[in-house]
C-alpha cells in the first residue's frame, strides 16, 4: 500500500494551520502554503504568521516545538513545485467552488501521479469539486472534513467516490486514523455530510421550539444537555460558542443544497431577535456575548437573554421540575406533561426522526451516524443509541400517537427485547420524505435476535466505521 511520507496543506487559515500542525504532530513533514498578499515584502507572510499564531494558541495545536519545525511555510506562487514530493495534498482554502477548482488545476500540474488530493470543504459536494477535472485527478480526490480545532476534535468525515481505488481510500483512511488519531467516519456525498447535517438541524429545532414556547435559555440547556448525554452547553450555549453570525450562513448553505422536501427547509429561519443580536455585535462568545454574556458594567455579572423580551437579566440556576420528577428515566422526562417535558419531546423526537431519515442518505450505516455525533459533537450517545435507550417500541408508538404514519416497510417486534443492544434500532425507513420532521416513517425496529424477520430487515450490523485513536476533550463545534 502507498505510504504518506510528506504532506502539503494549502490554505493556512483557522483549519489549514491546525491540520498542518496535526500532521506535524504525527512526525510527518508538511508544507504549508497560502497566497501572497498584494504588495507583501515577505511573500510567505500569511503561512508564517499562521504558524507563529499557532505556537501561541491555547489549547496548544502543536504537541512540541520539534513538531512545529516539521512545517515548511511558503506561498502558492513560488512553491507549488514542492507538491511534487508530497503524497497527500490537502486543500483548505475559502469555501468557494471557483477558488477551489482554480487551485486544483494548479495542484494537478505539480502533483505526482499517485498523490492523493483532498478538500476540507464543509458543504460542497465532491462531485461538484471534481466536475470538469481530468479523470486521473478525480480518481485521487476525496473529501477529508476535519472539525475545529483539528488536533482536539476527534471526528474526521471521509467522503470518497466510486472513482477512487480501494487502495486510495485505505491509504487516506489509515493515515487519518492511525497517524493523525482521528475517528474516521465514512459519509456519502451529501450536503453537510453527517455531523453538521444532523447537528445543525438539532440546533435549529432546539432554538425554534424554545422561542415558540418562550422558555428560559438556562432551562433549555439543562434539559437538552446532560440528561441526553449532550454537552452541558446544550442548545444556546453551543450556538454562543459557534457564533450566532455563523449560523445563518451554515443554514443558508444547507438550505441551498438540500432538496425542497428535506425537513430542514421547514425549520430554516432566523428569529428576529437573533438578527438584531448579530447586528448589535452579540455574536456569541467571540463578540459582546450571545444568549449568555458577562456584563462587565455590572461587576462581571453573568446574564442570560430573555427570549420573549430580548432583554438581558441575571443568569439563574436552571429550574426544571421535570428533571427531578423524571429521575434518570428519559421516557418519564419525555412523557412529562409540563412545558419542559413537551419541549424535550418536540426537540428529541424531531432530532431522532431526522437521524432516521439520514440513514441511507448521509451514511449507509447507522453506526456511522452515531459515531459522527459522538466524535463531532461530543454526544455521549449517538441518535440511534438514544432510540435504543428510550426503547424502539415506545418511541415508535409515541410517534404514531402524534400522527406519524405507521411503520410499514418491515416488521417490528413489539414487546421484544428491543432495547437490548444497538443493533435493535431503526434500520430501514420508507424513502418518502416526511412533511413534518417527526412524520418520518420509522420502520423495522428489529431486536438483536433477528431470526424470523423479513429478509430485508435482517442485514447484520457491520462494524463501526469510526475508529478512535486519541482521547481528547475539546468542546463541540459545527462548521
Ligand atoms: P479561513 O478563512 O480561516 O482560511 C482560508 C485560507 O485560505 C486563508 O488563509 C486564505 O488566505 C487562504 N486562501 C484563499 N484563497 C487561496 C488560494 N487560492 N490559495 C491558497 N490559499 C488561499 O477559512 P477556514 O475556516 O480555515 O476554512 C477553510 C476550509 O475549511 C473551508 O472550506 C471551510 O468550509 C472548511 N472548514 C472550516 C471549519 C471551521 O471551523 N472554520 C471546519 C471544517 C471545515
The CATH number of whichever domain residue 360 belongs to comes to 1.10.1040.50
Q: What is the mean pLDDT of residues 403-408?
A: 49
Residue closest via CA to ligand 1's atom 44 equals: 122
How far apart are the C-alpha atoms of 323 and 64, rounded to whole Å? 44
Q: Is 97 in the pocket of ligand 1 (CB under 6 A)?
A: no
The conformation of residue 461, written as its DSSP 8-state character, comes to P
pLDDT value of residue 404: 64
Q: Please tell me whether residues 208 and 255 are part of one structural domain.
A: yes
Residue 33 — very low, low, confident or very high, per pLDDT cuts 50/70/90?
very high
* 195-213 vs 246-257: helix crossing angle, rounded to 10: 120
Q: Please tell me whether residues 85 and 209 are part of one structural domain.
A: no
pLDDT value of residue 478: 52
Rounded to the nearest whole angstrom, what is the distance from the C-alpha of residue 120 to the centroid of ligand 1?
8
Residue closest via CA to ligand 1's atom 31 equals: 95
Residue 439 reports pLDDT greater than 70: no
Q: Is 120 in the pocket of ligand 1 (CB under 6 A)?
A: yes
pLDDT > 70: percent of the chain: 84
Rg (CA), the chain: 23
Between residues 122 and 416, which one has the greater pLDDT? 122
Listed in sequence order, the DSSP H helices in 214-338 are 217-223, 236-242, 246-257, 263-267, 272-279, 321-326, 330-335
pLDDT value of residue 431: 31
Residue 479 — very low, low, confident or very high, per pLDDT cuts 50/70/90?
low
Q: What is the mean pLDDT of residues 42-70?
A: 97
Residues 6+ apart with CB under 8 A from 321: 338, 340
Q: What is the pLDDT of residues 314-363, one digit of tens each?
A: 999 998 888 888 888 999 999 999 999 999 999 999 999 999 999 999 99
Residue closest via CA to ligand 1's atom 16 equals: 93
Q: What is the pLDDT of residues 293-306, one digit of tens each?
A: 999 999 999 999 99
3-class SS shares of the chain: helix, strand, coil, % to 5: 40, 15, 45
Q: Is 148 in the pocket of ligand 1 (CB under 6 A)?
A: yes
How far apart are the C-alpha atoms of 41 and 237, rounded to whole Å? 42
pLDDT value of residue 391: 94
Residue to substitute in 93, 110, 125, 182 for testing ligand 1 pocket (most ligand atoms within 8 angstroms of CB): 93
CB 208 within 8 A of CB 267: yes
pTM for the predicted model, two decimal places = 0.85
Q: What is the mean pLDDT of residues 434-441?
A: 33
* 366-377 vs 195-213: helix crossing angle, rounded to 10: 70
**Three cell numbers at 100?**
477551489
CB atoms within 10 A of CB 317: 8
CB atoms within 10 A of CB 20: 34
Q: Please tell me whether residues 245 and 393 are part of one structural domain.
A: yes
Q: Please tell me whether residues 326 and 366 are part of one structural domain.
A: yes
Measuring CA to CA, which residue among 227, 215, 232, 437 is closest to residue 339?
215
Q: What is the mean pLDDT of residues 197-218?
A: 97
How far apart are the C-alpha atoms of 202 and 351, rounded to whole Å? 6
pLDDT value of residue 460: 25
Rounded to the nearest whole angstrom, what is the distance from the C-alpha of residue 76 to the centroid of ligand 1?
14
How far apart are the C-alpha atoms of 13 and 21, rounded to whole Å? 12
Q: Please tell me whether residues 383 and 285 are part of one structural domain.
A: yes
Question: Per the domain annotation, does 443 fall within a domain?
Answer: no
How far apart are the C-alpha atoms of 200 and 216, rounded to whole Å? 21
- Residue indicated by cell numbers 418536540: 346
pLDDT value of residue 447: 27
Q: How far is CA 155 from the centre of its chain?
A: 8
**Three cell numbers at 341?**
417535558
Q: What is the mean pLDDT of residues 52-78?
A: 97
Residue 120 — very low, low, confident or very high, per pLDDT cuts 50/70/90?
very high
Q: Is 157 in the pocket of ligand 1 (CB under 6 A)?
A: no
Q: What is the pLDDT of residues 261-289, one digit of tens each?
A: 999 999 999 999 999 999 999 999 999 99
Task: Give the range of the structural domain holding residue 40, as residue numbers without chain letter.
Answer: 7-182+451-474
**Three cell numbers at 393?**
417500541
Question: Per the domain annotation, does 437 fall within a domain?
Answer: no
Question: Per the domain annotation, does 369 fall within a domain?
Answer: yes
Listed in sequence order, the DSSP H helices in 327-443 are 330-335, 339-358, 366-377, 383-390, 392-401
Tally of structural domains, the chain:
2
Question: Per the domain annotation, does 435 fall within a domain?
Answer: no
Mean pLDDT, the chain, whole residue set: 86
Q: Please tell me whether residues 274 and 419 are part of one structural domain.
A: yes
How far apart are the C-alpha atoms of 235 and 207, rounded to whole Å? 7
At 337, give phi and psi (nearest 5°).
-85, -5
Q: Is 479 in the pocket of ligand 1 (CB under 6 A)?
A: yes
Q: Please tell me whether residues 406 and 352 are part of one structural domain.
A: yes
Q: How far is CA 40 from the centre of its chain?
A: 36
Q: Please tell me whether residues 106 and 241 are part of one structural domain.
A: no
Question: Per the domain annotation, does 50 fall within a domain?
Answer: yes
Q: How far is CA 265 from the centre of its chain?
A: 18
pLDDT value of residue 269: 94
- Domain CATH number, residue 21: 3.40.50.720
Q: Please tell me whether residues 145 and 263 are part of one structural domain.
A: no
Q: Is 122 in the pocket of ligand 1 (CB under 6 A)?
A: yes
Residue closest via CA to ligand 1's atom 9 equals: 13
**How far from 119 is each of 10, 92, 273, CA to CA, in Å?**
10, 6, 35
Question: Per the domain annotation, does 438 fall within a domain?
Answer: no
How far apart are the C-alpha atoms of 374 and 175, rounded to whole Å? 21
**Three cell numbers at 178?**
492511525
Rounded to the nearest whole angstrom, what is the distance from the C-alpha of residue 459 to the centroid of ligand 1?
40
Rounded to the nearest whole angstrom, what is the distance from the C-alpha of residue 348 to the centroid of ligand 1?
33
Q: How far is CA 453 from the centre of its chain?
A: 34
Q: Please tell me whether residues 254 and 382 are part of one structural domain.
A: yes
Q: Please tell me whether residues 238 and 369 are part of one structural domain.
A: yes
Question: Per the domain annotation, does 161 fall within a domain?
Answer: yes
Rounded to 5°, angle at Cα 304 from 300 and 310: 125
CB atoms within 10 A of CB 278: 20
Residue 412 reports pLDDT greater than 50: no
Question: Per the domain annotation, does 417 fall within a domain?
Answer: yes
Q: Please tell me whether residues 262 and 388 are part of one structural domain.
A: yes
Q: What is the pLDDT of residues 231-269, one digit of tens each?
A: 999 999 999 999 999 999 999 989 998 999 999 999 999
Q: How far is CA 182 from the centre of its chain?
A: 14
Q: Is 103 in the pocket of ligand 1 (CB under 6 A)?
A: yes
Amino acid at each position: 500500500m502507498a505510504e504518506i511520507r510528506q504532506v502539503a496543506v494549502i490554505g493556512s487559515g483557522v483549519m489549514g494551520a491546525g491540520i498542518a500542525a496535526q500532521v506535524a504532530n504525527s512526525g510527518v513533514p508538511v508544507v504549508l502554503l497560502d497566497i501572497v498578499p498584494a504588495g507583501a515584502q515577505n511573500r510567505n507572510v500569511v503561512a508564517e504568521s499562521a504558524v507563529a499564531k499557532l505556537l501561541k494558541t491555547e489549547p496548544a495545536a502543536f504537541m512540541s516545538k520539534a513538531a512545529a519545525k516539521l512545517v515548511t511555510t511558503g506561498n502558492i506562487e513560488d512553491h507549488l513545485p514542492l507538491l511534487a514530493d508530497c503524497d497527500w495534498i490537502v486543500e483548505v482554502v475559502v469555501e468557494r467552488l471557483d477558488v477551489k477548482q482554480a487551485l486544483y488545476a494548479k495542484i494537478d500540474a505539480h502533483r505526482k501521479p499517485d498523490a492523493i488530493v483532498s478538500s476540507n470543504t464543509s458543504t460542497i459536494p465532491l462531485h461538484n469539486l471534481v466536475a470538469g477535472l481530468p479523470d486521473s485527478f478525480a480518481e485521487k480526490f476525496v473529501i477529508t472534513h476535519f472539525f475545529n480545532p483539528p488536533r482536539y476534535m476527534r471526528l474526521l468525515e471521509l467522503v470518497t467516490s466510486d472513482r477512487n481505488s480501494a487502495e486510495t481510500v485505505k491509504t487516506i483512511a489509515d493515515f487519518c486514523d492511525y497517524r493523525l488519531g482521528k475517528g474516521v467516519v465514512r459519509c456519502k456525498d451529501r450536503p453537510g455530510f453527517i455531523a453538521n447535517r444532523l447537528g445543525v438541524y438539532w440546533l435549529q429545532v432546539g432554538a425554534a421550539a424554545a422561542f415558540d414556547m418562550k422558555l428560559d435559555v438556562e432551562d433549555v440547556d439543562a434539559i437538552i444537555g446532560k440528561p441526553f448525554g449532550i454537552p452541558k452547553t446544550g442548545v444556546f450555549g453551543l450556538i454562543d460558542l459557534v457564533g450566532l453570525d455563523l449560523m445563518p450562513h451554515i443554514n443558508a448553505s444547507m438550505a441551498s443544497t438540500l432538496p425542497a422536501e428535506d425537513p430542514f427547509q421547514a425549520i430554516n429561519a432566523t428569529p428576529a431577535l437573533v438578527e438584531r443580536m448579530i447586528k448589535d455585535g452579540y455574536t456569541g462568545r467571540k463578540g459582546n456575548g450571545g444568549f449568555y454574556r458577562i456584563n462587565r458594567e455590572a461587576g462581571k455579572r453573568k446574564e442570560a437573554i430573555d427570549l420573549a423580551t430580548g432583554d438581558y437579566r441575571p443568569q439563574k440556576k436552571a429550574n426544571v421540575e421535570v428533571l427531578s420528577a423524571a429521575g434518570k428515566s428519559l421516557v418519564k422526562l419525555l412523557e412529562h406533561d409540563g412545558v419542559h417535558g413537551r419541549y424535550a419531546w418536540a426537540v428529541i423526537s424531531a432530532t431522532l426522526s431526522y437521524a432516521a431519515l439520514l440513514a441511507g442518505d448521509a451514511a449507509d450505516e447507522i453506526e456511522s451516524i452515531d459515531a459522527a455525533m459522538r466524535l463531532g459533537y461530543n454526544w455521549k450517545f449517538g441518535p440511534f443509541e438514544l432510540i435504543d435507550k428510550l426503547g424502539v417500541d415506545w418511541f415508535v408508538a409515541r410517534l404514531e400517537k402524534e400522527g406519524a404514519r405507521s411503520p410499514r416497510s418491515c416488521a417490528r417486534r413489539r414487546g421484544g427485547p428491543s432495547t437490548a443492544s444497538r443493533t435493535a434500532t431503526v434500520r430501514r425507513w420508507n424513502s418518502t420524505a416526511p412533511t413534518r420532521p417527526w412524520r418520518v416513517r420509522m420502520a423495522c425496529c428489529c431486536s438483536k435476535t433477528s431470526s424470523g424477520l423479513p429478509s430485508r430487515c435482517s442485514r447484520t450490523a457491520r462494524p463501526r466505521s469510526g475508529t478512535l485513536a486519541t482521547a481528547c476533550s475539546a468542546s463541540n463545534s459545527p462548521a
